[in-house]
Amino acid sequence: MERTFAERLQDAMRQRGFKQVDLVREADKYGVKLGKSHMSQYVSGKTVPRAEILRFLANCLQVDADWLLTGEGDSRMVEGNTIHNVGEKNTARKAEDGESAEGKIEGKVSRKGSTQNRVKSGGSIMREFMKSSKLDNVLYDVR
């Protein structure tokens, strides 16, 4: 049976001795937007993180981002990845098919927030929720 993203995340957290709140605090420390509810959804398997958050989690937990997302490859972190370069693209390691974890997420999930946004994780299909753009051009009456 293939393990899910949530199971791999829980294992990595357990091995490093991290709780959800520890990762939220680390994210705040480095200016990464990660809330308690987001972390809870990742751990419970309801959603998977976007590429930037995936890289941050992988770096914090010292595991490979591709392994964390797909379970493929080695779980050990690639040399040169640190929390400090989370904002940079993770090009140190490519998956066997030549696509990074970031590309796998962004390639499978469009940025429009439609109901077609789906990422396969461990055999089940999960939606990734994005910010809605419906109200971007709405003017509000502030009387």
pLDDT, tens digit only, all 143 positions of the chain:
688 999 999 999 999 999 999 999 999 999 999 999 999 999 999 999 999 999 999 999 999 999 999 988 777 765 544 444 444 433 333 334 445 444 554 544 333 333 344 555 556 666 666 667 776 777 777 77
pTM over 0.85: no
d(CA 17, CA 60): 11
pLDDT of residue 26: 94
pLDDT of residue 115: 39
| 134: its two tokens | 């419906």
Distances in Å between the Cα of 31 and the Cα atoms of 14, 65, 86, 136, 137 are 24, 19, 10, 25, 28
CATH 3.40.640.10 given to domain 5-127: no
